[in-house]
Structure 1
Amino acid sequence: MDAFYHRFSELFAQIGLSREPADIRAFIEKNSPLSAEVRLEDAPFWSAAQATLLREKLQDDADWSEVVDQLNAALRAMHN
């Protein structure tokens, strides 16, 4: 199986959000920090379709899991 590296911007496009760097930063700043008790895919700011897509990426697609983990970490960090 070939491994692929996916960019953060590609994940945002997959979940139907802007892939522009400024928009990604704004989204993360607006929705951070995500509580440790909340799973990434259960965060209240996702639509049902976005949450499902994230679940699928984490469960079924190793190619995407690294970038989803990066998103998870970014949303749990404190931003100024």
Structure 2
Amino acid sequence: MEHPDHPFTELFEQLGLASDPEAIRRFIERNGPIPEEIPLPDAPCWNEGQAEFLREAIEEDADWAEVVDHLNASLRKR
């Protein structure tokens, strides 16, 4: 099964967050870096629904998995 490509901005929209490039940059800057020992969905910056969406995307290797991996990497950099 082929997974559709979701742009980074679309992931932020799916999470109910501002999705323009500047807002994404600020979100990552404000909420990162997340320590390696904390799974992305367990980071304190997510509400319950956001965390569940991220958890499902990772566990089920959903259509969103690749862009969620990108978000994970972005939030761990400094």
What TM-score results when the alignment is normalised by the length of structure 1?
A: 0.91
Is 2:32 aligned against 1:32? yes
Using the TM superposition, give the Cα deviation of residue 61 of structure 1 relative to its aligned residue in structure 2, in angstroms. 4.4
The 2-side partners of 1:31 and 1:41 are apart by 13
Using the TM superposition, give the Cα deviation of residue 26 of structure 1 relative to its aligned residue in structure 2, in angstroms. 0.2
Using the TM superposition, give the Cα deviation of residue 62 of structure 1 relative to its aligned residue in structure 2, in angstroms. 2.9
The 2-side partners of 1:30 and 1:60 are apart by 28
Task: Identify the residue that residue 17 of structure 1 maps to in structure 2.
Answer: 17
Task: Identify the residue that residue 65 of structure 1 maps to in structure 2.
Answer: 65
Please, which runs of 5 or more residues in structure 2 have no aligned partner? none
> 3-state SS of the aligned residue for 2:64?
helix
Identity between Structure 1 and Structure 2 (%): 53
Moved beyond 3 Å, runs of 4+: none
Deviates more, 1:57-66 or 1:43-52: 57-66
What TM-score results when the alignment is normalised by the length of structure 2?
A: 0.93
Q: CA RMSD for the aligned pairs?
A: 1.0
> 3-state SS of the aligned residue for 2:49?
helix
> 3-state SS of the aligned residue for 1:72?
helix
Please, which runs of 5 or more residues in structure 1 have no aligned partner? none
How many pairs were matched up? 78
